[in-house]
């Protein structure tokens, strides 16, 4: 309904009615994409390999009210983005991500919530001959339910089997298909006989466009603790680099001050020169046992930082030997 309203509006070019249906579709798509680029600030870029129309419709229904799903040809998308980037330079980074069978999910809401909705709509799919396997496929050991007449088929695939209760049983786990390799016709035939659909096809989120910044989608999985940890790790690397090159920055300044102070204390200990901050170090060097006793005082005294006098232990009472009243030899 929105497209029809746009088509009937005054913004259409002259001669629109005379255009062939293909050009009209391109123009209507251009209006939708331009409107979405200006209306939404967040975009989730997804690949849609092996996604059927029914599955696509299920994703649209799940995203209703939260996001807008838009597909199109890469050449048209790049052209429109390049034109819009003249007015909005932040879109320049978006054009570099338009590769392969790509689709847009536009939203102004929570990107992580939208990503979870998109990725949750996955359906099992059978293997196809000649296609690249996204994951490894293993056949578990156990009964197959196939009659013994099909034993030759398993022998041709070098799969050890035995006959148990009138059906074929696989003895060991079989690594049938390796990831990122083409699927053979024999593997497809075996999976079909076993009624196994090893793959799950659906949307695969690749990149995120947020307020002009483009970054991998795995960044959305990072919590606050991970982000803070990576930030401080980068600060440490920056400080080490600045200290190694003698280039002062705000990150390396505290370390430089600490190093300078340590050198001043070392000079004070090696000479007769004393300043307020070095007095304590002078005293420690002169009488280390006193400070050692003071440090152990809380542990020995039990608190308060004061050494409590230890009560003297009572002397053991002398044991009086009792006189022998009789003798065994008497």
So what's the pLDDT on residue 309? 44
Q: Taking residues 213-241, what's their average pLDDT?
A: 84
Band (15; pLDDT cuts 50, 70, 90)? low
In the block, residue with structure tokens 């048209």: 76
So what's the pLDDT on residue 122? 80
Residues near 272 by Cβ (< 8 Å), separated by ≥ 6? none
pLDDT for 274 beyond 50: yes
Q: Which two tokens stand for residue 167?
A: 């059906």
- Residues 27 and 16 sit within 8 Å (Cβ to Cβ): yes
How many C-beta neighbours within 10 Å does residue 122 have? Answer: 15
Percentage above 90 pLDDT, the chain = 2
Alpha helices in 127-274 (DSSP H): 151-156, 185-194, 224-245, 253-270
So what's the pLDDT on residue 330? 41
Q: At 205, which helix (H) or strand (E)?
A: strand 204-210
Nearest Cα to Cα of residue 31 among 4, 57, 63? 4
* Domain boundaries, given as residue ranges, for the chain: 2-122+202-221, 137-197, 224-291
Band (13; pLDDT cuts 50, 70, 90)? low
Global model pTM greater than 0.85? no
First CA to last CA distance, the chain: 130
Cα dist from 181 to 21, 139, 190, 203, whole Å:
41, 17, 17, 21
So what's the pLDDT on residue 203? 83
Q: Distance between CA 105 and CA 99 in Å, rounded?
A: 15
Adjacent-strand bridge partners of 167: 164
Cα dist from 134 to 53, 101, 178, 181, 236, whole Å:
21, 16, 9, 8, 39
pLDDT for 299 beyond 60: no
Q: Distance between CA 150 and CA 75 in Å, rounded?
A: 50
Q: At what angle do helices 21-39 and 74-85 cross, to 10 degrees?
A: 50
So what's the pLDDT on residue 106? 92
Annotate 242-260 with b (16+ C-beta within 10 A) or e (fewer): bbeeeeeeebbeeeeeeee
- Residues 41 and 108 sit within 8 Å (Cβ to Cβ): yes
Q: Distance between CA 179 and CA 151 in Å, rounded?
A: 27
So what's the pLDDT on residue 49? 78
CATH architecture of 137-197: Alpha-Beta Complex (3.90)
So what's the pLDDT on residue 152? 85
In the block, residue with structure tokens 């929105």: 2
Alpha helices in 162-247 (DSSP H): 185-194, 224-245
- Segment 150-168, tens digit of pLDDT: 888 888 888 888 888 888 8
Percentage above 70 pLDDT, the chain = 84
So what's the pLDDT on residue 319? 43
Q: Which two tokens stand for residue 276?
A: 């307020």
So what's the pLDDT on residue 301? 47
pLDDT for 264 beyond 80: yes
Q: Distance between CA 201 and CA 293 in Å, rounded?
A: 71
Q: Taking residues 117-141, what's their average pLDDT?
A: 85
May I ask the CATH class of domain 2-122+202-221? Answer: alpha beta
Max Cα distance, the chain (Å): 146
How many C-beta neighbours within 10 Å does residue 207 have? Answer: 20
Size of the chain in residues: 330
Average pLDDT along the chain? 79
């Amino acid at each position: 309904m929105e497209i029809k309203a746009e088509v009937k509006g005054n913004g259409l070019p002259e001669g629109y009615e005379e255009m062939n249906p293909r050009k009209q579709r391109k123009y209507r798509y251009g209006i939708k994409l331009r409107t979405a680029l200006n209306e939404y600030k967040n975009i989730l870029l997804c690949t849609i390999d092996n996604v059927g129309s029914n599955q696509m419709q299920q994703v649209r229904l799940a995203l209703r009210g939260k996001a807008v799903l838009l597909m199109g040809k890469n050449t048209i998308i790049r052209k429109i983005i390049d034109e819009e980037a003249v007015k909005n330079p932040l879109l320049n980074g978006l054009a570099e991500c338009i590769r392969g069978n790509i689709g847009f999910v536009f939203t102004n809401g929570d990107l992580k919530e939208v990503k979870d909705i998109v990725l949750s709509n996955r359906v099992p799919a059978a293997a196809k001959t000649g296609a690249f396997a996204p994951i490894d496929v293993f056949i578990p050991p156990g009964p197959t339910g196939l009659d013994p007449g099909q034993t030759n088929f398993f022998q041709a695939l070098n799969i050890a089997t035995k006959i148990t209760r009138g059906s074929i049983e696989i003895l060991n786990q079989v690594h049938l298909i390796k990831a990122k390799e083409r699927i053979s016709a024999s593997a497809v035939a075996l999976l079909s006989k076993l009624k196994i659909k090893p793959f799950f096809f659906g949307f695969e989120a690749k990149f995120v466009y947020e307020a002009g910044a483009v970054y991998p989608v795995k960044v959305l999985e990072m919590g606050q603790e991970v982000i803070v940890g990576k930030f401080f790790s980068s600060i440490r690397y920056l400080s080490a680099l600045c200290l190694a090159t003698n280039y002062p920055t705000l990150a390396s300044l505290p370390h430089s001050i600490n190093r300078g102070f340590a050198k001043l204390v070392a000079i004070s200990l090696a000479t007769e020169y004393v300043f307020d901050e070095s007095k304590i170090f002078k005293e420690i060097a002169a009488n280390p046992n006193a400070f050692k006793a003071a440090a152990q005082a809380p542990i020995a005294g039990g608190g308060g930082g004061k050494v409590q006098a230890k009560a003297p232990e009572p002397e053991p009472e002398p044991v009086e030997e009792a006189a022998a009243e009789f003798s065994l030899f008497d």
